[in-house]
Amino acid sequence: MAEAFLKNAWYCAGWRDDVGLGQKDLVARRIAGESLLLYRTAEGGLVAMEDRCPHRSAPLSLGRKEGDAVRCMYHGMLFGPDGACRHVPGMDKIPPGADVPTYAVCEKDGWIWVWMGDPASADRTLICDAYDPHDPTLTLRTNSIRIDTNYRQEIANLADLSHISWVHDETFGGTDRWGYIRPRHSRNPRGIETKYVVRNIPAPRFAKHLFPADARFDIQVHVRLSVPCNFILNFRIHQADGETSGDARGKVLLDTYTSQAVTPRDENSLDYYFSWGTSKETEFPGVVDLMYRTNYEAFLEDKRILEGQRQRQLEYPGAPEIDIVHDAGPAQMLWVLDKLLAEESGAGAAA
Amino acid sequence: MNDWIRVRITERRMETDDVAAFVLEPALGAALPAYEAGAHIDVKLPNGLIRQYSLCGTPDRSGRYEIGVLCDASGRGGSICMHENVRLDDQIEISPPRNLFPLASMQERALLFAGGIGVTPILAMAQQLARLGTNFAMHYCARSTSRAAFRERIAVSPFADRVTFHFDDQPETVMDAKALLASPEAGTHLYVCGPSGFMDHILNTARAAGWAESNIHYEHFSAPAGGANGQDGFEIEVADDGTIIPVAQGQTALEALRSAGFDIPASCEQGICGACITTVVDGIPDHRDMYLSVAEQEANDCFTPCCSRALTPRLTIKI
């Protein structure tokens, strides 16, 4: 059996503002079963290291920043941004092995990314392309949430948007049409890409009051999913064009963009960093705030169902689960993940 | 691969001159898996062939399975072998039931059409619907009274009054499919099984009358003439790569691809979820899935290697 988490992958460790320059900005993160400390040096550079003092395992995130170094506030050992121990109070020499492992870390598209494998093999071209909240052509607002589930369930949730009709009936939904989409997914080495149109649907519940009751819309969906679980979506709302196939051609009413990075903390919980907003071109006053609140509400809907699902799965270990027509996306995305996991564990092709 | 189940023939009788009914019970005591109307099993024949037969008994009698086999002298040897070489008390191996022709879970009314030996899954459906108390009507077309298998069973069943027989040699019983299918309703589902000409007639009539595709259910019990069918072998060529992979009798295309080192995603492996959908660039698939719509199947530009096969000797696919 392969490991639960990929090593050779970039994991989102939060929004770039999550790690500041302040004295107290020692940020603890749990990523893929490991505990990390993140901080910025005086020059603003990012440091990611194991959040564990090699002496007696105290969290370094309970320590103190000193220039570009961090001091463990249990017995005062001082570590540089390269993880090397610089000083042990009361000793002239540094004991062998008193180093903290570090991780390759960088910023891209407003997110902080950490490579969980050997830092020497960190390949920046493997970071997913996302919509940057600082992109001058977009207005995006960011947020995060924790969900107590295994990230494979989150992958399955994001690779099959038919659940919008049911889980998000009170927010994004308000029509059963999402339950009838049957998109084709195209695979790439690290994920899947999916494009489709949901046609002739009423306004989503959260915006229903803004439109005439008989207004109908086409939603052009373009999703890029990549390992471990990054979901980059352009969700474009068109006036319904009455067509039954092809791209939506009606007038674009709202062009929305969302970047969502799901980072497994361990096998039972994950951190979810997400943004949503519109192009500047289609933005109108108040709409991004409404989307911000709705998005958070909707993700609480996901949290409720995913945590309930996880609870049942733990209560019924190994219970068979049947497939339905909406499982092509989840199965394909999990296949990509499992193939990469199997390659890492040296087992060759995915079993 | 299948977990084969060893069963004993506990009853064998001639339903008509050319249809034999077999009752199968477990050889080793363990109960047979339950099934729903429309399910079929694979049967390993003494001559090595594997054939599919619909279960025609009442679905709740899990202690035993019943199949009806038409002896087809012009066939490829499966039915002849069943007729000549499988006797009372013989033991054979079968697969657990699979259902690619299930009843819809919710329906106000069902219209069942059986042609010839296509009666086997339809009979199971009639029995299940009668037990559920669902409103249904069944139309059973056969060449003559003496050629209509299970006619006596139907005559003494509690649903006998819902079944109309249509015999080729009795012109007054001729079926008017157009009239029967004239008024599609959202709550009415149509189920058809029989020879391909019969199926085409019913399905085309229904579509012309405006039946929604989602209310039409059918199963071919034989593939269109001229094509490979059943579990016959065929070849897969991997485009761009040129590798040619034989798919053996009784083996799925997915299994053959995997053993040749080509892994593709799959989940349900029953043609339900669509995870294994693969592009077809040449050749004609024999679609056996429930995922693709009729229009998508007819485009023949993709197939589900977990259950679908080929009507041409070779399929060229893109992985």
Condensed to tens digits (0 to 9), the pLDDT of residues B82-115 reads 998 899 999 999 988 888 888 988 889 999 999 9
* Cα–Cα nearest to B56, from B23, B89, B8, B11: B23
Helical packing angle, A151-158 and A328-344, nearest 10°: 140
Is the pLDDT at A347 greater than 70? The verdict is no
Q: Tell me how close the Cα of A222 comes to any Cα of chain B, in angstroms.
A: 19
List beta partners, residue B283. Answer: none
CB B102 within 8 A of CB B36: yes
Provide the pairing of β-strand A269-279 with B285-286.
unpaired
CB A281 within 8 A of CB A146: no
**Mean pLDDT lowest among A32-36, A337-341, B239-243:** B239-243
Interface residue A320 vs chain B (CB under 8 A): no
- Chain A residue with the nearest C-alpha to that of B261: A349
What are the chain A neighbours of B291 within 8 Å (beta carbons)? 182, 325, 328
pLDDT tens, A148-182?
999 999 999 999 999 999 999 999 999 999 999 99
CATH node for B234-318: 3.10.20.30
Q: Grade residue A351 by pLDDT with cuts at 50, 70 and 90.
A: very low
What DSSP string describes A133-178?
A: TT-TTEEEEEEEEEE-S-HHHHHHHHT-GGGGGTTTTTTT-SSSGG
What are the chain B neighbours of A331 within 8 Å (beta carbons)? 265-267, 273, 275
Q: Tell me how close the Cα of B134 comes to any Cα of chain A, in angstroms.
A: 25
What are the chain A neighbours of B272 within 8 Å (beta carbons)? 323-325
Span B116-144, average pLDDT = 94
What interface predicted TM-score (ipTM) does this complex get?
Answer: 0.78
What are the chain B neighbours of A323 within 8 Å (beta carbons)? 267-268, 270, 272-273, 275
The percentage of residues in chain B with a pLDDT greater than 70, rounded to a whole number, is 94
Is the pLDDT at B225 greater than 60? The verdict is no
Q: Could you name the CATH architecture of B109-220?
A: 3-Layer(aba) Sandwich (3.40)
Nearest to B272 among A325, A330, A332 (CB): A325
Q: Grade residue A279 by pLDDT with cuts at 50, 70 and 90.
A: very high
Supply the pTM of this predicted model: 0.66
Interface residue A152 vs chain B (CB under 8 A): no
At B75 the pLDDT is 67
Complete domains list, chain A, with CATH? 10-126 (2.102.10.10), 138-344 (3.90.380.10)
Is the pLDDT at A1 greater than 70? The verdict is no
d(CA B259, CA B33): 29
Sorted by where each begins, the domain ranges of chain B are 5-94, 109-220, 234-318
Conformational region of residue A110, where left means phi above 0, alpha means psi within -120 to 50, and beta covers everything else: left
At B2 the pLDDT is 47
What are the chain B neighbours of A324 within 8 Å (beta carbons)? 272-273
B278 contact partners, CB below 8 Å, separation of at least 6: B264, B302, B303, B304, B305, B317, B318, B319
Do B267 and A331 lie within an 8 Å CB cutoff? yes
Is the pLDDT at B77 greater than 60? The verdict is yes
Interface residue A327 vs chain B (CB under 8 A): yes
Q: Tell me how close the Cα of A333 comes to any Cα of chain B, in angstroms.
A: 9
Do A328 and B268 lie within an 8 Å CB cutoff? no
At B116 the pLDDT is 92
Q: Tell me how close the Cα of B318 comes to any Cα of chain A, in angstroms.
A: 12
DSSP 3-state of B138: strand
Q: Tell me how close the Cα of B271 comes to any Cα of chain A, in angstroms.
A: 9
Conformational region of residue B27, where left means phi above 0, alpha means psi within -120 to 50, and beta covers everything else: alpha
For chain A, the average pLDDT equals 95
What is B5-94's CATH number, 1.10.8.60, 3.40.50.300, 3.30.499.10, 2.40.30.10?
Answer: 2.40.30.10
pLDDT tens, A93-103?
999 999 999 99
CB B47 within 8 A of CB B85: yes
Do B291 and A184 lie within an 8 Å CB cutoff? no
d(CA A233, CA B103): 38
d(CA B61, CA B80): 28
For chain B, the average pLDDT equals 88
